[in-house]
Structure 1
Amino acid sequence: MSIVFAVILLLCLFVLELVYFKLADHFNIIDKPNHRSSHSSVTIRGGGVIFGLGAILFFLFFGFKYPFFIAGLFAIALISLLDDIHTLSNKVRLSIHLISVLLLIYQWDLFAMPWYWIVIALLFVIGTINAYNFMDGINGITGSYSLLAIVTLYCINSYITLFTSSALLITIGLSLLVFNYFNFRKKAKCFAGDVGSISIAFIIIFLIGQLILKTYNFSYILLLLVYGLDAVVTIGFRVLRKENIFEAHRSHFYQYLSNELKWPHLVVSSVYFGVQAVINLLVIFVVKDSIVLNLALILISAILFLFIRFSIEGKAKLLSKI
C-alpha cells in the first residue's frame, strides 16, 4: 500500500467515523453513566464501528480477500451494533456469534483438521472475544492495547514471517488511529461499544490464528497475555467469592485502579499498553517457540500479577464477598 493511498484511506475512515457520530447523536446511541460505569458523562456509544468499516474497505479495495472472515465479522459487528442500540435476546446474539466464529474457523481451514482443533479454536475465540469485551471499560484501553497488537503483528508480518495481508494490518491500524483520536483522551468523544470491542477482538483473533497456523508457534497467544491475566484472574476471584460470574461487575484490576484509586484512565491504559509491549518484545526476541520459556513467562507474569493485586487491593477485598 502506497503512502498516498494510506493517507486517503485514513481520511475516509475519519469521515466515516464523523458520519457515525452524527447518526448516533440523531438516534440517541449514547452511553449513560450507571453504578458500574467508569465514566461520569453521557458519551456516544459504538465508535468502534470503524473497525468493521475498515475491514470492509480492505475487502472492497484489496481483492476481496478472506471472504468468510469478512462475512463473519460483518455479522458479529452488526448484531453487536444492534445490541448497543437496543438490548437483544441472548439466544439471537449468541447464535450470530457462533455462526461468525464458525465462518472464521472455516477461513482458517480448520475443518480439514481433527475435530478437537475445532473445539479448541471455538473455546479460544469465544473466550478471547468475551475477555476483550469485559476489558473495554475506560478511555483508551481498547484502542491503545489493540493498536499495539496490530503494530506487533505488522512487524512480525514484515520482518519475521509473512502470514497475512499487510494491507489488512495497515487498514485496521488506521481505523484504530482514528478511534484513538476520539477515545484516547481525558474526556472521550466516543466509546467503542460492544460493536467495537467485539469486532476488534474478532479481527485480532483471526490474525493471531493465521500467524499460529503459519508458524505452529502457540506463543503468539501471549500477545494478549495482560488482558488474559486480568480476565482469568478476575473470574477466579469471583468464583472464590461465590459470585455469579455472568453478572456485570467492576472487579477487574484496571477498574480498581481507575474507580477506587482514582488513577486517570489514560494512565491505567498506558500501564496496560506498556506491560504488554514488554511481553511482546520477550515473545518475539526471547521466548520464541520454546515451550519452557513460554511456560516460564506465563508463570512469572501470573505470580507478579497476583502479588500486585494482593498488595494493592488486599486479601479481604479479593477473597471475601462484601
Structure 2
Amino acid sequence: MTVWWLIAAVSTVSWVLTLMLRRYALAKSMMDIPNERSSHTVPTPRGGGVAIVIAFLAAMPLLVALGLIRPAAMYGVFSSGLLVAVIGFTDDHGHIAARWRLLGHFIAAGCALYWLNGLPPIELFHTPIDLGWFGSVLALVYLVWMLNLYNFMDGIDGLASAEAISVCLGICLVFWCSGNTELIWLPLALSAAVAGFLWWNFPPARIFMGDAGSGFLGVVLGALSIQSAWVSPNLLWSWIILLGVFIVDATWTLLRRLLQGNKVYEAHRSHAYQHAAVKLGSHKRTTCIIVGINVLWLCPIAIWVGLGGTQIIGLLLAYLPLCLLAYKLRAGLPE
C-alpha cells in the first residue's frame, strides 16, 4: 500500500510544482512567444517540465528504499536524466551552442549506459546476438536520438505528455502480461509525474514543458528500455514499438529534410503531427488520435512481442502503417 501512496504523491507534487512554475514564469515574463514556426498562437509560460524532473527524481531513492528498484538502475536513470534536464533548463533560459548541448547529451547517455552495463545481447528471430563494443556505440546513439527526438516532437499542446503516459502505462501492461512485474515501478512513477503536469498542459496548454522536460523524458524512456532488455531482450522491442509514433515521425522528418538539403537544427513546422494538427484544426484532437494509435494499435503488438512474438514481424507490423501515415501527411515537407 505504501508504494501506491508514493505514486499518488508523485503526481500531486508534480501538479503543485507546475502551478508554482507557471506563476514564476508569468512573474518573470518567461514566455514562449509565437512565431512563424510555432504551432501555438498565444504567448504561453514555459519551463513546466522541471516539475516532472523533480517529482520523478525525488521518488527514485524512495523506490530503492522500498526494495522495488535496484540502486544501479537509479544511478543510471537519475544521473543521465538530471544532466539532460540541467542542460535543457539552461538552454531554456539562455542559449547553449548546439555542439556543447550535443556533447552534454552524449555524456548523459554514457552515464546511463555505465550504470546499466551497456546494451545486453539483442534478439533477432529469437536468436541472441551480442554486438559487443558496437552495441555500446549503438546504444549511445539511440539514447541521444531518443532525447532529441522527444524534444522535436514536443510541438503541440499535450502531445509529449500524453505520449509519455500512454507509453509508460502500455509498457506496464506488457510487464504484467509477461510476468516481469518488478519492472513496473519506474515507468509507473514517471507516468504519475507527467500526469500532474499534463493537467496544466492539456490543450489549450497553460504552460509548456520546455527542453528541460522533453529531453529528460526522452533519455529516461530510452534508459528504461535498455534496463528492461537485461531482463528480457524482447522487452526492448516492446518499448521501441510503443514509441513508434515519435520514432517514425521524427526520423522520417529528419531524413526527408536532410535529403532536401535543409538545416536540420533549425526550428520548423514540418513534422507529421504538426501537419495533422493543421488539417484537423485542433491540438486536442491530434493528441487524442495519437494516444488512440498507441492504445489500440501499438500496445497489442508490444504485448505480443513481449510474450515471445517474433520481434522483426512485430516491428514491421507496427511501423509500416506509421511510415505510410508520415508519407501521407507529408512529414519533412513545408506546409
TM-score bracket, normalised by the shorter chain, equals: 0.7 to 0.9
Say whether 1:240 aligns with 2:253. no
Separation in 1 of the partners of 2:95 and 2:284?
29
Match of 2:148 in 1: 130
Q: Which runs of 5+ in 2 are unaligned?
A: 66-70, 121-129
Q: Deviation at 1:34?
A: 0.8
Separation in 2 of the partners of 1:111 and 1:159?
24
Match of 2:42 in 1: 41
Deviations 1:282-316 (CA, angstroms, capped at 9, x unpaired): 12126844145235315xx33x3454455555xxx
Identity of aligned residues (%): 24
One-letter code aligned to 1:100: A
One-letter code aligned to 2:98: N
Separation in 2 of the partners of 1:2 and 1:295?
34
Q: 282-291 or 11-20, which moves further after superposition?
A: 282-291
> Contact 2:53/2:85 (CA < 8 Å) preserved in 1?
yes
Match of 2:215 among 188, 198, 203: 198
Separation in 2 of the partners of 1:204 and 1:307?
25
Match of 2:8 in 1: 7
> Contact 2:237/2:305 (CA < 8 Å) preserved in 1?
no
One-letter code aligned to 2:316: A
TM-score (norm 1): 0.87
> Contact 2:166/2:291 (CA < 8 Å) preserved in 1?
yes
Secondary structure of the equivalent of 2:243?
helix
CA change 1:116–1:18 in 2 (3 A) is same
> Contact 1:46/1:190 (CA < 8 Å) preserved in 2?
yes
CA change 1:310–1:224 in 2 (3 A) is closer
CA change 1:233–1:91 in 2 (3 A) is closer
Match of 2:313 among 293, 299, 312: 293
Deviations 1:9-33 (CA, angstroms, capped at 9, x unpaired): 3322222222222322233322111
Match of 2:95 in 1: 87
One-letter code aligned to 2:288: S
One-letter code aligned to 2:135: W
Secondary structure of the equivalent of 1:138?
coil
> Contact 1:55/1:70 (CA < 8 Å) preserved in 2?
no
RMSD of Structure 2 on Structure 1 (CA): 2.5
Q: Deviation at 1:116?
A: 1.0
CA change 1:309–1:198 in 2 (3 A) is closer
CA change 1:226–1:318 in 2 (3 A) is closer
Secondary structure of the equivalent of 1:274?
helix
Match of 1:19 in 2: 20
Separation in 1 of the partners of 2:207 and 2:115?
32
Q: Deviation at 1:80?
A: 0.4
> Contact 1:157/1:166 (CA < 8 Å) preserved in 2?
yes
Number of residue pairs aligned between Structure 1 and Structure 2: 313
> Contact 1:33/1:39 (CA < 8 Å) preserved in 2?
yes
Q: Deviation at 1:111?
A: 8.1
TM-score (norm 2): 0.84
> Contact 2:161/2:194 (CA < 8 Å) preserved in 1?
yes
Match of 1:270 in 2: 288
Separation in 1 of the partners of 2:326 and 2:151?
21
> Contact 2:301/2:314 (CA < 8 Å) preserved in 1?
no
Match of 1:73 in 2: 81
Deviations 1:44-68 (CA, angstroms, capped at 9, x unpaired): 1111112211222113323363123
Q: Which runs of 5+ in 1 are unaligned?
A: none
Separation in 1 of the partners of 2:149 and 2:196?
23
